[in-house]
Structure 1
Amino acid sequence: MAEAAVNFLIGKLTNFLDNEVQFFGDAEDEVRSARGQLEGISASLRVADSLEESDEEVREWVKQLREIAYVTEDALDEFKLLSAHDHGVGFAGLFCRISCCVKNTKARYRTISQIQNINSRIKSLCDGHQRLRHKFSKAEHGPGSNYSDNTWHEHRGNAFFLDKNELVGIEEQKQQLVAWLVEGTSGPQVISVVGMGGLGKTTLVNEVDQDPEVKKHFRVCAWINFSGSPNIGELLQDIHQQIVRVIKQPIPCGADTMNIYWLTMLIKDLLRGVRYLVVLDGTWRIDEWDAVKHALPNNMCGSRIIITTRNYDLAHTSSREFKGKVYKMEPLPVGQSWRLFCTKTFQGSSCPSHLEETCEFILKKCEGLPLAIVAIGGVLATKDKHRMDEWELVRHSLDTEIDCNDRLKNLKRVLSLSFDDLPYYLKSCFLYLSLFPEGCPIKRKRLIRLWIAEGFVEKKEGKTHEEVDEDYFMELLNRNLIEVAARRTYGAVKYCRIHDFLRDIVTSKSTNQGFAEIAKEEKFEQPDKVRRLSLQKTLRALQQNWSLSQLRSLYMFGMERPFMNKVLASDMKLLNVLDILAAPLKRFPAQVADWCHLRYLSFRGTEVSTVPTSIVKLKNLETLDLKHTNVTELPVDIWKLQRLRHLLVYPYKLMPYLSFKVGFKALQGIGALQSLQKLCYIEADDANNCSVMREFGMLTQLDRLAILKVKKEDGRDLCSSISKLTRLRAISIASVDEDEIIDLQHLSSPPPFLERMYLEGSLGALPKWLPSLSSLMRLHLRYSRLKDDPFVSLENLPNLVHLELRQVYEGSSLCFKAKGFKKLNILGLDLFDKLRCIEVEKGAMPFLQKLAIRRCKLLENLPSGVENLTKLKVLKIFDMPDKLVKKLVQGAQDDDYHKVAHIPEIRCGYQRDEGWDIQLIDRSVQRDGATTQGTSMGSNEFPPCGSECTT
């Protein structure tokens, strides 16, 4: 991680020279010298980081370099802190300025002295770099060009860790891959096997490669092992040697000295008329694939290429090029995991009953990862089955065992390969995941905002920081380092997570490399210095002299009030991020306003109810998250926070069906916050509405906007503003009450990229521009009370995936026309008071999977043509007439019962005083003569068809 720290510091030194050097010009030469020397060694840092674990000398050099980077950053930020204070006006302000002038003069000389001292230390380290240069060169250009010794050569051997009789759940996968190899077109095809490290990709492909049918089908079979950064010339030499051994041709004179071009031509010539199978095992990057593919001829002989990779982008790109297939490896299901575990741990015998609970806990942590199951099974196989203490010790120390147990080193190495291959900016982003509690899904948008606040994001021409960070997130996802925990109904990732063992490795690296400290146990050892701190459990004791003066990020999860207050009373003047989630915090801590470097401030889910005017001193603040607090007003001078990008303020007061009724009162001057990208939820019910509505048009960077308590007379100004918000992706507008009209007819040019829209209030008629929203994926309409059938305007929206309608239409019938709603996946109909019949024509909603009909009191029959919805998986009927519900009960003598026979899950429910009484009718079970009935949901919230409705 020295690479990340040093590159971050180089950027900071550059910024300092551009903007701050006038305050201490005497040190300009020293600063430039320091930057120049760091830039000189930055090229070697990635190699140094990879050698850190295996070479003591390099490890010490990297540690010192990292410490110098941190010390330099602290010196620069402490100086900026003194020059950032607002001194006020009048005599008191003059006195303050004189006092600060003296302090700043002293601080300037102190900073100059620190920079000079740091520069001297950097020079010393650069001398050390000269001594280590031979190691870096050897690691970078040695065998396989991999950064760590012998990793390339060990990669294949370590993959085949299972004996033949230990393979579990592989036969079906093997048959599928064999069929893809020997069947299909005569042109060459790429079959990509993709998944995270440790799933057994290489084990599976090796079984396929050795299959007699495959051996018989292909004239030439070659297996090439890749590493994190392979030497392409050596790989091509390896392919050539394997080919000539099979076809029994002499190796041409001088082949061992040929360059890449001639080797490529030679291999292509040898394979020109041959049906070949080439396995490229452990391929990481697209450029590696590009370097090899040109040597493999398009010979129309039915040749095949198998790629095993952890990178989804590579898997799909290579398969598209050769019209191939992608096989995604998944973790083992519970049953197969248990079989494999018992095979390795108890040599195929069953687990003793007294060890079942312990083994189930350990197996759960493995999460279906075969490599982890086998590695830990091997450790447990050496334990005495009658010594419960030995087994419990493994159970409680799994996170440390992976670091110190020799039998688990292979597991750590294989899982660490993905991390080691990351560019430095992604390493910082990935290590950041260690700050979140184990088992806690991480919200994608929150994570991205935090990465930005930490300064991990590099500027890219034409992209916002958020867009660059979205790319970072997707790259980690495509590399199988993080996985999706939940998606929104329109497909975007909502929550992510990380495999438990990968988390243990990342947490260990994070601590060892001085990146962060995670305190979740009473025995937590408090380090002398800490830059990022995650408090995940109430700690009863805190060292009196523990300094947090260098702390940059603080997270609190599950803290009790006394301990939380004690931590917040510490000197944390360099803090960039303060994130306190769902803690018993009642007051906005006054000292926070003095932490001028704060860029991210979140009191989400706390009991804070007021925000002091002193918050406007936080000139660097980019995110203010007061979601689910009791705050309903902000200081009138909030517009002074010119760098605010995300303003999230609304209390946790949700009306039924997730309608937001309370936000924060609109302020004049809000148009000055021209960096804002997300503004939720702002109440427009004020005498100055017209002025505020016009100011929204000044917020041209907005991609999400939520406005409450809108009146009819606001329509023209609101439409004028919305037409200027060309970056808008999501908008939520709620009228002051259900009967108030939202007048949006004046909008001539709606935002071109609008994806989500939520309108709550009377409309009179659907906006004429709504059918033109070609990017719209999710639409919620409530209390529209339309006279005309809304589907005429909505059915041709090309990308609409989720549609929720509540009290939208006052007609008696609805018709879903053929070829309408081509991509709709989720549909909810609620409170259609006069609706008596629904018709679904054949070909309508061809991809509908979830349908919910609620509180339509006159609808006594299921939709006519519901049998045409062949993809429907879930049907929800809530608070509907008994006549309709009875038709769904087993044995009902009605055509409706047979029309829905193809739907796997049907739920019926009625609202009770204590919540919703839900009856589950599982059609797949019912065919065998059984009906499963659920119990009360225990909530007064109306069950939505899809996920939560927020912008």
Structure 2
Amino acid sequence: MAPARLSLPERGPREVLMEILRKFGRPVVDNFSVDQLTVDVREHLDKKRYFIVIDDMQTDQWSSIEAAFPQDNVVSSRVMVTTTIQSVANARSSSNGYVHRTKRLGDKDSEQLFVRKACPKKYLGYMQPESKEVLKKCDGQPLALVSMGQFLRKKGWPTGPNCEDVCRNLSHHLEQDETLERMRRVLLHSFSSLPGHGPKACLLYFGMFPCDHPIRRKRLMRRWLAEGFVETQPSSTENFNTLIDRNIIEPIGMCNNDQVKTCKTYGMMREFILLMSTSQDFITLFAGNKVEHKYVRRLSLHHNIATSGSCSSLDINLSLVRSLIVFGEAGKAILSFQKYQLLRVLDLEQCTDLEDEHLKDICNLLLLKYLSLGETVASIPKDIEKLKLLETLDLRRTKVKILPIEVLLLPCLLHLFGEFQLSDKVKITSEVQKFFLTEQSSLETLAGFVTDGCLGFPQIISHMKNLRKLKIWIERSEKNTNFTDLVNAIQKFIHDDKEESNDPRSLSLHFDACTENILSSLKAPSYLRSLKLKGKLLELPQFVISMRGLRELCLSSTKLTAGLLAALSVLKDLQHLKLIADELEDFIIEDKAFPGLLHLCFVLEGATLPTIEEGALPYLISLKLICKDLVGLAGMKINHLKCLKEVILDHRVTSETRETWEKAAKEHPNRPKLLLFNPVDESESVPGDSSLASTTAEREAMETFPTPDGALQEDNIQILVKQISSAAPEKLNNSEPISKDELNSSFNNMGFSEGKLGLTELSIVQNGKVSSYTH
């Protein structure tokens, strides 16, 4: 087997094939086409055993060069491709292989690697370095650990104060110090390779948030739209997905439909984003340090550092600020909103000294498009009608209970969040009716309002032609027991007009024991993409059973009956199902039940799980069991789930239960991932938002670490060959295929190229096709 390594970032198929020939010592003709080069490579490899590594593939090139590798000797030959781009790795995947996503180092191995580089060996037995802050910054990334170890070694023994000082000024060191040049070059490549200005601007905007702060995807994209980084929602989504796909930002929480819900920046990438965004005057970060520029466009204040006194001494021209985010205390100078003239994004959700009296000046910010307020706000003035360009108003953290009608009459308002009512004194005047009847309302999201069926929201929402997401809390009151208007409004919202468009309508209903009969009043035909019902549910409402297009369903009830679950099992369009209950009746998921379900989640107080018969859930890929009292497999057999890729358990289950599920996962033909669920950081959650966000324990499970410098060199390939040979020499000698476990064991004990920072993804050719390997 002849190992050969190619490092060819951003080269085309022709250059890749030419480099392969050069590595083999074959003559290369510059004007040869891809087809001619393919024939040359194929002839050279014919009847030979080979192991080729194509490092850091940035585009989809495999389909153009696949024919160069012979089909008759693939049992003992391999082509391995490394890439930082998830979509490229996925495209390389085949039914016979897998994508391997290398894990970051755990705490123990991170410390070992850092100490090895930072501390002279002769002193290691004398004292331990105080490296907690540095290890946190490196975040388990091998290249970062090595670079920071070498950097601190120049400064002497890494004491606690020394490490803390370096971490405080890390952006400066990253820009200036030659020891960190290699890491700086890798980070710069990740940034410069982003396609176009949009993704770059969106990435730099992450510098507005504190380190380790979870950021909600949808809120972030609304800010991007308000800033003008993107012009449409699809463009915003595309930019976000690009950053996730390239492993530049990290998803930490998932929605019920498996989309990213929350994310954050990590490790050295966070420091690089700060360096780039501040050096280019893209943002100005005030966290106790002196602000050098008088004119700022985007201002971020962090965690009670910006006090009234210190802010008043800053020489900042606030008239040019376009975006302001405050975490903690802002101070009088910053909260003097009459000074702002160009403000478009105002995020005061976590500002601790904002008061109701400030809102009068906020209502004079005529260019404002995004406004988010926090728990110190109790009322919204009628002057908010001046904000004619406002697109998003987020009141979820506030104490606002009564919403002025003027908010609903804002012509550009797209998204309204909170939990409020209209005042009893509000009259639905002819002017208000005309506003909605003439389709002047742009409102797409109303999540949501509290109603007892009285005049107000029920009479208005039926006229909101653009409404796509609706959330309602239904309460019975003594003064009104008639919910006819509310039922009619909901019925109109869910009405199935038989259009085959991809309409993303979503409804969330919270009801008490006295109002559940409202559900039985809703009739077919109906259509929704997503439905959430929270209340006492004894049976599945008929309108749900007959609903067309329902893909996401979340039911929350004190008890879920077998009859209700049986009714769910025949919903053919359902792809994502989440069941939350204190008690779950014994239930058998029979053959052919849930024919289209991809994701199934149970959030239970008890430990009872349904029995799954063979043939049920034929396409299920994700099973989430958020049940702290789960004992073993609880009678659930997962071998019947042929497409299963992951099982997620409550992080509070016993070690015995976790081991039992690990064993079951290993015995499953797909070897699904076993992950642990932990609640997402509450700093970004909102009152009344009980949706779960899945996080993994993969980093904690990492017990091996790559070679010290984290680079894939030719001698590393020889090491890989030797490791495989020692693990299964008879397979290499007899040209037998090597198992995934044997390859996985070898990969986890070798390093990858500097461009990956511990996040390299591999694509492997097996049986003549590229396969994907992932954790």
> TM-score of the superposition, structure 1-length normalised?
0.59
* Pair 1:703–1:406, CA change in 2 (3 A): same
Query: Are 1:370 and 2:139 an aligned pair?
Result: no
Aligned match of 1:708: 474
Distance in 1 between residues matched to 2:103 and 2:33, nearest whole Å: 40
- Give the 5 Å matches for 1:484-503: 484-503=251-270
Aligned match of 2:768: none
Q: Do 1:875 and 1:903's aligned partners in 2 also have CA atoms closer than 8 Å?
A: no
Shift of 1:625: 0.7
Residue type matched to 1:319 in 2? Answer: S
Distance in 2 between residues matched to 1:272 and 1:903, nearest whole Å: 45
* Pair 1:815–1:899, CA change in 2 (3 A): farther
Distance in 2 between residues matched to 1:900 and 1:233, nearest whole Å: 49
Query: Are 1:532 and 2:313 an aligned pair?
Result: no
Distance in 2 between residues matched to 1:554 and 1:876, nearest whole Å: 37
Shift of 1:330: 1.0
Q: Do 2:524 and 2:547's aligned partners in 1 also have CA atoms closer than 8 Å?
A: no
Aligned match of 1:438: 211
Query: Are 1:574 and 2:342 an aligned pair?
Result: yes
Query: Are 1:451 and 2:218 an aligned pair?
Result: no
Distance in 1 between residues matched to 2:648 and 2:157, nearest whole Å: 46
* Pair 1:769–1:389, CA change in 2 (3 A): closer
Query: Are 1:586 and 2:355 an aligned pair?
Result: yes
Q: Do 2:150 and 2:179's aligned partners in 1 also have CA atoms closer than 8 Å?
A: yes
Pick from 318, 332, 346 the counterpart of residue 548 of structure 1.
318
Aligned match of 1:866: 634
Q: Which moved more, 1:232-241 or 1:413-422?
A: 232-241
Partner SS for 2:464: coil
Query: Are 1:240 and 2:1 an aligned pair?
Result: no
Q: Which has the higher contact order (CA 8 A, sep 6+)?
A: 2
Q: Do 2:443 and 2:464's aligned partners in 1 also have CA atoms closer than 8 Å?
A: no
Aligned match of 1:919: none
Partner SS for 1:804: strand
Shift of 1:396: 3.8
Partner SS for 2:542: coil
Aligned match of 1:417: 189
Distance in 2 between residues matched to 1:222 and 1:259, nearest whole Å: 22
Aligned match of 2:86: 312
- Give the 5 Å matches for 1:495-534: 495-521=262-288, 523-534=289-300
- Give the 5 Å matches for 1:823-838: 825-828=600-603
* Pair 1:771–1:823, CA change in 2 (3 A): farther
* Pair 1:763–1:342, CA change in 2 (3 A): closer
Tell me the alpha carbon deviations over residues 687-726 of structure 1, each in whole angstroms, 9 at most, x when there is no partner: 336x835733633341454453386423244212221697
Aligned match of 1:610: 379
Query: Are 1:408 and 2:153 an aligned pair?
Result: no
Aligned match of 2:668: none
Aligned match of 1:790: 564
Q: Do 1:282 and 1:307's aligned partners in 2 also have CA atoms closer than 8 Å?
A: yes
Tell me the alpha carbon deviations over residues 619-650 of structure 1, each in whole angstroms, 9 at most, x when there is no partner: 11110111121112222233332211110122
Aligned match of 1:776: 551
Distance in 2 between residues matched to 1:289 and 1:889, nearest whole Å: 45
Q: Do 1:274 and 1:299's aligned partners in 2 also have CA atoms closer than 8 Å?
A: no
Shift of 1:823: 5.6
Tell me the alpha carbon deviations over residues 161-213 of structure 1, each in whole angstroms, 9 at most, x when there is no partner: xxxxxxxxxxxxxxxxxxxxxxxxxxxxxxxxxxxxxxxxxxxxxxxxxxxxx
What is the total number of aligned residue pairs between the two structures?
630
Shift of 1:335: 1.5
Query: Are 1:695 and 2:454 an aligned pair?
Result: no
Aligned match of 1:803: 579
* Pair 1:234–1:817, CA change in 2 (3 A): closer
Distance in 1 between residues matched to 2:176 and 2:415, nearest whole Å: 43
Q: Do 2:253 and 2:693's aligned partners in 1 also have CA atoms closer than 8 Å?
A: no
Distance in 1 between residues matched to 2:560 and 2:423, nearest whole Å: 28
Give unpaired runs (5+ residues) of structure 2.
477-481, 640-646, 664-686, 695-775
Partner SS for 1:734: strand
Partner SS for 1:528: coil
Pick from 732, 747, 771 the counterpart of residue 523 of structure 2.
747
Aligned match of 1:187: none
Q: Which moved more, 1:764-773 or 1:421-430?
A: 764-773
Shift of 1:945: 10
Distance in 2 between residues matched to 1:564 and 1:611, nearest whole Å: 20
Shift of 1:577: 0.5
Q: Do 2:390 and 2:413's aligned partners in 1 also have CA atoms closer than 8 Å?
A: yes
Residue type matched to 1:483 in 2? Answer: E
Q: Do 1:764 and 1:784's aligned partners in 2 also have CA atoms closer than 8 Å?
A: no
Pick from 727, 730, 733 the counterpart of residue 503 of structure 2.
727
Aligned match of 2:398: 629
Shift of 1:585: 1.7
Q: Do 1:840 and 1:865's aligned partners in 2 also have CA atoms closer than 8 Å?
A: no
* Pair 1:276–1:750, CA change in 2 (3 A): farther
* Pair 1:783–1:709, CA change in 2 (3 A): farther
* Pair 1:766–1:474, CA change in 2 (3 A): same
Partner SS for 1:469: helix
Q: Do 2:208 and 2:285's aligned partners in 1 also have CA atoms closer than 8 Å?
A: yes
Residue type matched to 1:680 in 2? Answer: A
Distance in 2 between residues matched to 1:514 and 1:865, nearest whole Å: 55
- Give the 5 Å matches for 1:172-321: 217-218=1-2, 221-227=3-9, 229-230=10-11, 233-243=14-24, 245=25, 251=27, 255-286=29-60, 288-293=61-66, 295-296=68-69, 298=71, 300-302=73-75, 303-320=77-94
Q: Do 1:776 and 1:799's aligned partners in 2 also have CA atoms closer than 8 Å?
A: yes
* Pair 1:259–1:387, CA change in 2 (3 A): same
Q: Do 1:486 and 1:496's aligned partners in 2 also have CA atoms closer than 8 Å?
A: yes
Residue type matched to 1:456 in 2? Answer: F
- Give the 5 Å matches for 1:47-66: none
Q: Rg: which structure is higher? A: 1
Residue type matched to 1:266 in 2? Answer: D
* Pair 1:278–1:616, CA change in 2 (3 A): same
Q: Do 1:485 and 1:495's aligned partners in 2 also have CA atoms closer than 8 Å?
A: yes
Distance in 1 between residues matched to 2:39 and 2:662, nearest whole Å: 56
Distance in 1 between residues matched to 2:306 and 2:162, nearest whole Å: 29
Shift of 1:407: 0.3
Partner SS for 2:131: helix
Pick from 360, 372, 382 the counterpart of residue 154 of structure 2.
382
Distance in 1 between residues matched to 2:133 and 2:658, nearest whole Å: 41
Shift of 1:369: 0.5
Distance in 2 between residues matched to 1:693 and 1:722, nearest whole Å: 16
* Pair 1:641–1:831, CA change in 2 (3 A): farther
Shift of 1:331: 0.6
Distance in 1 between residues matched to 2:159 and 2:131, nearest whole Å: 14
* Pair 1:350–1:485, CA change in 2 (3 A): farther
Q: Do 2:174 and 2:180's aligned partners in 1 also have CA atoms closer than 8 Å?
A: yes
Distance in 2 between residues matched to 1:799 and 1:544, nearest whole Å: 54
Give unpaired runs (5+ residues) of structure 1.
1-216, 459-464, 652-661, 855-861, 878-887, 891-897, 906-941
Shift of 1:827: 2.4
Partner SS for 1:597: coil
